[in-house]
Structure 1
Amino acid sequence: MKLRNIYRECYGTASIDKMLPSIITKSIWDFFKTQILLKNNSLLSYKHIFDLKLEDNYLVLNYQQESQDFEIRSKTNVKVDKLPLAHHIWIIDNGRSFIMMLPTDY
């Protein structure tokens, strides 16, 4: 298996900038970089799926990959009153960078 370069650029689409508060975007990137890339580098598929939930007014990230039965649930310390309309988020590995997007952006 080829190891991915975890130090590539990370981008978000215009719809991510418009639909997600920056604190949620930052939480997803932080989780992705520290819990997924650094710990599971050789097991990664190209599509990373995040389902955002709300629990006791805290953001919960449910992470899975498209190609494997691999799921992680993480309750963050980010306090939010309500979820944004967009609560399914993808991060795509295009080989040169990571791009955060809504499924409709694909």
Structure 2
Amino acid sequence: MASSQGKKRISATSNEQSLITRVSRSVSQSPIVHQSKRAALDAAFVSKKLIRSTGKAAWIAGTTFLILVVPLIIEMDREQQLNDLELQQASLLGTPK
């Protein structure tokens, strides 16, 4: 008697697995799943392109800043130091009237 209950449990378990397999196949083959996968792949492609182009733009902006703006800042600082030095010398020597 115990063995017949064990067989029923085994057959019920295999029926449940069969049902789960059929349901998972029907869900995985549905058009909604295919559309979702396609949308995810398209979003990943667009994101990759966006990140790549953003990196290129950052590189261009950074090198332009280094080539054009940094020398300008250094020159402006030198000019300010020269002006400060002239003011300091003028205050020590006195301004001619």
Q: The TM-score by the shorter chain falls in which range?
A: under 0.3
Which protein, 1 or 2, shows the higher relative CO under an 8 Å CA cutoff with sep ≥ 6?
Answer: 1
The structure with the largest helix share of the pair is: 2
Whose Rg is larger? 2
TM-score by length of structure 2 reads 0.22
